[in-house]
Amino acid sequence: MSQAEVSYSCGSCAYPLNLSSSNRLTSGSGIGSEYQKSVKKGFISFLTVDLSRFTQVDEVNCFPVSWGRYRSKTKLLCRKCGVHIGYGYGDSSALCGFDSPNSSTSAYRKFTVKIRALQPSEEC
């Protein structure tokens, strides 16, 4: 059984989010049981997203998550209707004043999207 590539749109307004199933982090990507747990919780993860399709709201936590690492969480909202789609995760040490502001704080490591916030795109 062959898997076709799927593009996703906002589940609320059908705005194309340029999310592709080929960019998903799956068990084949070396994640395994972590992937299965996130799907059970209603989330799927992507390696990359088109940030121009989202409104971003930063949620910075200036307390170390583990061993001096600071983690930012950016809420991703649909650019058209504003519904919450998911989160982008990265390091936020510069935003907390611990590193130089010239470090790349917008380099996300992972994007987590709510399954219920998506629908397959109607592309031919």
Per-residue pLDDT reduced to its tens digit, 29-76: 555 677 678 888 899 888 888 989 999 888 766 665 555 555 678 899
Asked if CATH classification 3.40.50.150 holds for the domain at 5-95+103-118, the reply, yes or no, is no
Amino acid at residue number 83: V
* Closest by Cα among 10, 15, 39 to 112: 39
What is the pLDDT of the chain when averaged over all its residues? 76
**Whole-angstrom distance, CA of residue 67 vs CA of residue 82:** 35
Domain limits of the chain? 5-95+103-118
Sheet arrangement for strand 71-78 = 24-25, 43-46, 110-114, 84-91, 71-78, 54-60
The answer to whether residues 7 and 13 touch, using CB atoms and an 8 Å cutoff, is no
Query: For position 65, what pLDDT does the model report?
Result: 55
Query: For position 107, what pLDDT does the model report?
Result: 60
Out of 29-33, 93-97, 108-112, the most confident range is: 108-112
